């Protein structure tokens, strides 16, 4: 049976709707960027922090912990990474963490760091997504690691997890990754500079009352 005119019209409207949704999604994603920045000869899109909720922006907060100064603690439930500083303070960064089925917890150390790293999808990821390339060059606008990667090892063995930048600023504050800890690109650059090889990392479900409550976020001090 041939298509009725009504079917054609509805089909056309559905196609238009799909295009509109795709354009709206692209526009929403693009709004997270503003201008460009050059870093070590690579030009990348700057995060539009005016679009970012204040609690996800890098800032100094009160933090009470028995962990040594310089330790990184990740609170996966609340999507924060803390770099412990002196005087019971920490630099807090908003992060994206592993989605359901990809969460992990425990201790590790940053035993390798890379500036504009090459990305090589692990075999299990390529099994799930065979369309992925074997690797993506460092500095490529399609490289999901962004400008920096800090590789997490445990007892000298690579965990497969990284602290790194992101192509999706809108994923910060969400369960979105395959287990790696995502950061705004500017924050990944900042943390990279502060953390030498051997930095201890602790990934936890949450940190209870070690840091200030959400109600006190407005009292935190921004980090330039």
Provide the pairing of β-strand 181-183 with 89-98: antiparallel
Residue 135: its pLDDT value, please? 87
164 is catalytic: yes
Give the separation between CA 59 and CA 221, rounded to whole angstroms.
5
Give the separation between CA 133 and CA 137, rounded to whole angstroms.
10
For residues 100 and 11, membership in a common domain is answered with no
For residues 57 and 157, membership in a common domain is answered with yes
Q: Is residue 36 part of a domain?
A: no
For residues 192 and 142, membership in a common domain is answered with yes
Give the separation between CA 192 and CA 150, rounded to whole angstroms.
7
For residues 25 and 106, membership in a common domain is answered with no
Bridge partners of residue 38, in order along the sequence = 43
Q: Is residue 40 part of a domain?
A: no
Reference 121, options 109, 129, 110; nearest CA is 129
Reading the block at residue 38, the tokens are: 């050059």
Count of residues in the chain: 224
Report DSSP letters for 4-25, one per residue.
PHHHHHHHHHHHHHHHHHHHHH
**Residue range 129-165, pLDDT digits in tens:** 888 888 899 999 999 999 999 999 999 999 999 999 9
Statement: residue 22 has pLDDT above 50: no
For residues 96 and 191, membership in a common domain is answered with yes
- Domain of residue 179: give its range: 49-222
Residue 209: its pLDDT value, please? 55
Q: Which of 79, 129, 180, 206 is catalytic?
A: 180
Q: Is residue 38 part of a domain?
A: no
Q: Is residue 37 part of a domain?
A: no
For residues 78 and 137, membership in a common domain is answered with yes
pTM recorded for the entire structure: 0.80
Q: Is residue 203 part of a domain?
A: yes
Q: Is residue 43 part of a domain?
A: no
For residues 85 and 167, membership in a common domain is answered with yes
For residues 65 and 93, membership in a common domain is answered with yes
Confidence of residue 199 (pLDDT cuts 50, 70, 90): very high
Q: Is residue 12 part of a domain?
A: yes
For residues 20 and 55, membership in a common domain is answered with no
Q: How many domains does the chain have?
A: 2
Q: Which of 79, 129, 164, 206 is catalytic?
A: 164
Statement: residue 118 has pLDDT above 60: yes
* Helix extents (H) in the chain: 5-30, 123-128, 185-194
Read off the DSSP letter of residue 56: G
Q: How many helices (H) and strands (E) does the chain have?
A: 3, 13
For residues 67 and 169, membership in a common domain is answered with yes
For residues 13 and 115, membership in a common domain is answered with no
Angle at 56 (CA atoms; ends 89, 69), nearest 5 degrees: 25
């Amino acid at each position: 049976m041939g298509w009725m005119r009504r079917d054609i019209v509805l089909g056309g409207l559905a196609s238009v709707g799909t295009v509109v949704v795709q354009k709206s999604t692209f526009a929403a994603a693009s709004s997270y960027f503003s201008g460009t920045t050059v870093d070590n000869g690579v030009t990348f899109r700057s995060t539009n922090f005016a679009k970012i909720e204040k609690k996800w922006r890098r800032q100094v907060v009160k933090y009470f912990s028995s962990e040594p100064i310089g330790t990184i603690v990740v609170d996966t439930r609340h999507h924060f990474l803390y770099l412990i500083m002196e005087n019971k303070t920490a630099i807090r960064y908003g992060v994206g963490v592993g989605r359901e089925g990809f969460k992990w917890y425990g201790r590790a150390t940053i035993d390798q760091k890379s500036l504009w790293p090459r990305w090589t999808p692990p075999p299990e990821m390529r099994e799930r997504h065979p369309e992925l390339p074997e690797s993506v060059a460092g500095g490529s606008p399609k490289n999901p690691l962004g400008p920096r990667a800090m590789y997490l090892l445990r007892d000298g063995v690579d965990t497969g997890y990284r602290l790194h930048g992101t192509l999706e600023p809108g994923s910060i504050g969400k369960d979105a990754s395959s287990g790696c800890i995502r950061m705004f690109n500017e924050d990944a650059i900042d943390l990279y500079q502060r953390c030498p090889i051997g930095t201890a990392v602790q990934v936890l479900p949450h940190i209870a009352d070690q840091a200030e409550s959400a109600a006190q976020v407005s009292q935190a001090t921004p980090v330039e």
